[in-house]
Structure 1
């Protein structure tokens, strides 16, 4: 069943950037695919479905395929670049200030765009500089770069904004404590912070801080990434879904937007892509239920601790 003909304005929500450089669509499409060969078709499907916010990264190794989807859709007059919001990310091996601009330029070239709406530092962890995205020693331990500070990398991102081809900058996979340090020292404040967040990891304290500073909290894994315990099997969400005639996924995504965050979902399946954009405003009572009655708290991705992305299977609640 599709609800497109009956949708309200929730899915069209746009969140203003704190530096005055426009607004980010709250409903976003992530581009990290297990099978990179699905990238171009999935992005084209997302554009045709109505997504206008796309989250990319050099680390995902598919910016060129995303750029091809954009090129085809621009050529067909399906969408205009000015109607889109494109985010990409600086990887850990390019934290040294002199490596930031070349990495940015390379992402722009692969994506086929003259400018980026938001450029994020993928994680706060600097890895050994070089072309190997996952540098490790003979024992398999990550090789970190202890000679570069996060604020040094941030200053290089500020320079990109000064030059005009990067409209806004932000951080990803960062803790609240580390974010506070950057906000205190930054000349250009972060506009966006991308972190894992879903009903089992609501990150209310982070959200409150972001709202106080005009920072957009952009949630990845807003549906729990299919991990155990499964967010979408939660009795509160399934109960609300039955009452409002939506799926548990649509309830979780509507909750994300209504509480003031943006979200990213990723799928190569047209039906799921459609489902993830067909969200409607939840009743106030449902929003309160999700906040008050869901007690499970769990983080599925340990990237905030190591800088190494990866969802870790969980078998217990904490």
Structure 2
């Protein structure tokens, strides 16, 4: 092992939140699993490996299992609650302002935590209010709620910050234009924006806007979510990986942090969880190569157009 690699602190990067409520670890662990039964063990493994940032959502339907992992690890005295950054999200059926606080409190109960570090609006689309997370008409089309505006939901989140129920608030799956509207109207500015981002969807313009306003960009699908074309197999990425003796995944994740974003990866496999944590700083030449030589542009998740996450299977 080289001296440089031994002292590499990239994976310890913490990004300060714009409202003074601490910092988000750039290296994050997502909790959307195909097999929900793997949740508790995967989260415990991630905590043991060193992950201190966990991204949850009521829509994932496994906050209880995440909460079990948190409780077991905190109770063992190995890690303190205040050392872990917990994000969760308000689902589309709870956008009406009167439903927001109850939704957050239900997430806290399931996660077995007293507060949320960052509460995100899962998508900017309001669905028909109610207990059915996926309201559809007889033709299978989503039933949207045209009576609630995003800024109304945002105001309800601002109140949660005032009450100390969450330390920061943000948005997910939002376009730059919609984000600009909220930033212009917000009393409490978004601290975090979670979007799909990887070298095939670098979102430079949105990232630049967020940097100007002190908003953290949190990238999901930083490895392309295993979809085609596969960014992990891109010749630029595999060439860099060979040169720096890291895996293509580690190159992509290092790129994410070095450009100033946080990222989320998800795995139930201990080896992959360890690999995704074990990132090291890339040479500037590699950063330039990724920016200049990768020209493929593709979005894998169409959620920004519909509010329906492409990676979450519909409940039969």
Q: What is the CA distance between 1:77 and its match in structure 2?
A: 1.3
CA–CA separation in structure 1 for the residues paired with 2:284 and 2:130: 50
Corresponding residue SS for 2:166: coil
Could you tell me which residue of structure 1 aligns to residue 296 of structure 2? 296
Structure 1 residue matching 2:171: 3-state secondary structure = strand
Question: What is the distance in 1 between the residues matched to 2:292 and 2:7?
Answer: 27
Deviations 1:107-142, CA, capped at 9 Å, x for gaps: 000000000000000000000000000000111010
Aligned equivalents of 2:25, 2:34: Cα separation in 1: 25
Residue 168 of structure 1: SS of its match in structure 2?
A: strand
Count residues in correspondence.
310
Residue in 2 aligned with 1:219? 219
TM-score for the superposition, normalised by structure 2: 0.97
Structure 2 counterpart of 1:315: none
After TM superposition, list the pairs within 5 Å mapping 1:88-237 onto structure 2.
Answer: 88-237=88-237
- 1-structure distance, mates of 2:146, 2:127: 8
The structural deviation recorded for 1:211 is 0.2
Deviation for aligned residue 1:165: 1.7
CA distance in 2, matches of 1:38, 1:79: 21
Q: Displacement of 1:7 after TM fit?
A: 5.7
- Who is 2:9 aligned against? 9
- Counterpart of 2:19? 19
Q: In structure 1, how many angstroms separate the alpha carbons of the residues matched to 2:268 and 2:186?
A: 38
Map of 1:308 onto structure 2: 308
Q: Distance in 2 between matches of 1:181 and 1:245?
A: 44
Q: Structure 2: give runs of 5+ residues left out of the alignment.
A: none
Q: Quick one: distance in 1 between partners of 2:238 and 2:26?
A: 23
1:311 CA drift (Å): 4.5
Q: Distance in 2 between matches of 1:101 and 1:173?
A: 21
**TM-score normalized by structure 1?**
0.96
Helix, strand or coil: the match of 1:93? helix
Q: Which residue does 1:281 correspond to in 2?
A: 281
Query: Residue 75 of structure 1 aligns with which residue?
Result: 75
- SS state at 1:300 partner: coil
Aligned to 1:117, the other structure's residue is in SS state strand
RMSD across aligned positions (CA): 1.3
| Alignment of 1:243 onto 2:237 | no
Distance 1:71 1:164 in 2: 21
Whether contact under 8 Å (1:92, 1:126) holds in the other structure is yes
Q: Which runs of 4+ in 1 moved over 2 A?
A: none
Give the deviation of 1:6 after TM superposition. Answer: 3.0
Structure 1: where are the runs of 5+ without partners?
313-318
Alignment of 1:253-268 (within 5 A): 253-268=253-268
Q: Counterpart of 1:161 in 2: which secondary structure? A: helix
Shift of 1:226: 0.3
SS at match of 2:218: strand
